[in-house]
Amino acid sequence: MKAVKVTGWILLVALVGIQFMPTERNQSDLIPKTDFMVVNEVPKNIESVIKTSCYDCHSNNTDYPWYNKVQPVAWYLEDHVEHGKEELNFNEWDSYSSRRKNSKLKSIISQIEDDEMPLTSYTLIHRDARLSDTEKKIVLDWVSKLKDSL
């Protein structure tokens, strides 16, 4: 019984303690020249879908939810965003070689087709980031067209 109590206290102290640990926030007002929306002619409706559903983790600017202030949630998100940007950063689109652009577009298509992106853990909270069937279709059609034009 005593052990449980001690563990409880340790956990509590740790939980409070980690709230003071700094996190790196992924925020930037700058829209670089290499941004996907800048270098491609993206129709407004497609742009809005991609920005809402993808840009939080795949660009240099995340629209953070309030709970990002709470640890360990912030760490979890930080890790997600970091990994997401590593895979694909829409802000740096034009810095990719055409070979890589082609690969990325192919992966974008297959991930959306298979409902692997946006992540369920993300859409669970960001309800507006979910893709409806119509949205899926218009985005996929457009991205396929872009891929063929490369």
Partner 1 sequence: MKRTNVATGILAMAIIALMATSCKDKNKEQENQEGHNTEQMDDSGHMDGTMEDHSQMEQDNMNQGGMAMMSSEVVADYLTLKNALVSDDKDGAATAGEKLESSLKDFDTSKFSDEQQAELTDIIEDATEHAEHIAKSDIGHQREHFDILSKDVIDLLAIAGSERTLYQAYCPMYNDNKGAQWLSATEEIKNPYYGSKMMTCGSVQKQIN
- Which residues lie near partner 1 (CB under 8 A)? 97, 99-100, 102-103, 106, 110
List all residues 6 or more positions away from 78 whose beta carbon is below 8 Å from its beta carbon.
Answer: 23, 24, 26
Q: Which is nearer to partner 1, 42 or 105 (CB)?
A: 105
Q: 3-class DSSP state for residue 73?
A: helix
Kindly state the smallest distance separating residue 110's Cβ from partner 1, in Å.
6
Report d(CA 39, CA 150) in Å as an integer.
13
DSSP string of 34-49?
A: T-HHHHS---HHHHHH
Q: Which is nearer to partner 1, 61 or 103 (CB)?
A: 103
What tokens appear for 77 in the block? 């998100």
Q: Which is nearer to partner 1, 110 or 121 (CB)?
A: 110
Kindly state the smallest distance separating residue 23's Cβ from partner 1, in Å.
26
Kindly state the smallest distance separating residue 18's Cβ from partner 1, in Å.
29
